[in-house]
Amino acid sequence: MADSPGSESKSGADAARMGEVKAWLASQFDAIGKEVPDFEYTPRTIAHFHDLATVSQAKTKAANIVAADFCQKAAEYRAQAARVREILEHVGLAQESLPSNVVGSAQVLANVANLLNIRDTELSSFLVAAADISLRKTGVEEKRAKVRNDSKVLLDYTRKAIARLTYLKRTLAQLEDDVAPCEDQMDSWKTNLAVMASKERQYFQQHSNYKALLNRVGYTPEINHRVLVELGEHRKELEKETKPILDTLRSYQDLPAVKQKYKLQDKALAALAIEEKKRQYAAGEKYLGDLVQALAMQP
């Protein structure tokens, strides 16, 4: 089967590129007096070397153009220098015929012209260059003054920072010295806190016990010292009101007929009444004792 025209053109282009690469390598290594090393010519290396050859040839061509231009300018400068030298010799201003001080002054002028970037002998050019130098000097002085001020500010900041650092170090040392006493105090506070927590639990337990005791004896919030005082006063009033009636009844008992009638009954009733009163008196004393104790425990 015959190859297609596209493949034939591609193989021909590859062969042409390989030839260009080999020729370029040979020229480059011949220039330095060495032989071309053995390369494995693959499509990738050929493409890479071809790109290098293209770039190198373009730069070489540009360098040759620049070199030719420089050579032409050098020839023109040499011709101009020869004409200037000839003119100076005709007017008697050749360098060999001038005194040494004149030659020195001319060299100084040339150096000043190079320094000021002056290419002519006009006074205006010198004044412009001198003004430019003065402006540059002023700018440099301003920058120097700014740098000096910035340096002063930085120095002030540095001094303040050093003073602050010294103060912080002294404070740190003082705090480190206070660590041990503070730790002892913290330990004491922890111990006291534990004791206070224990006391709190104890007081809560006592409060619960007292509350249960008050509930057991029948104490209510309505029973307090003021209420007991009022009850005592009310009792005195009742005794005052019932005393005349009691005296009247006792006078009735002193009558002979009544005495005879109730003599036997009074003994039995009196014994029962005495026992009942004793029992009531004991119960009252117990009740009052419980109330007094409850009032004493009330905060």
Q: What digits encode the pLDDT tens for the residues 57-69? A: 888 889 999 999 9
Higher pLDDT, 297 or 14: 14
* pLDDT tens readout for residues 139-181: 999 999 999 999 999 999 999 999 999 999 999 999 888 888 8
Structure tokens, 78:
């040499």
| pLDDT at residue 168 in the model | 94
Q: Quick check: 91 pLDDT over 80?
A: no
The whole-model pTM stands at: 0.32
Q: Quick check: 138 pLDDT over 80?
A: yes
User: Domain span at residue 271?
Assistant: 223-297
Is 57 in contact with 24 (CB distance < 8 Å)? Answer: yes
**Does residue 261 sit within a domain?**
yes
* pLDDT tens readout for residues 248-298: 766 655 555 545 555 555 566 666 767 777 777 677 667 766 666 665 555
**Does residue 8 sit within a domain?**
yes
**Does residue 134 sit within a domain?**
no
| pLDDT at residue 171 in the model | 93
Last residue of a domain, one of 45, 67, 97: 97
**Does residue 265 sit within a domain?**
yes
| pLDDT at residue 282 in the model | 72
**Does residue 34 sit within a domain?**
yes
**Does residue 118 sit within a domain?**
no
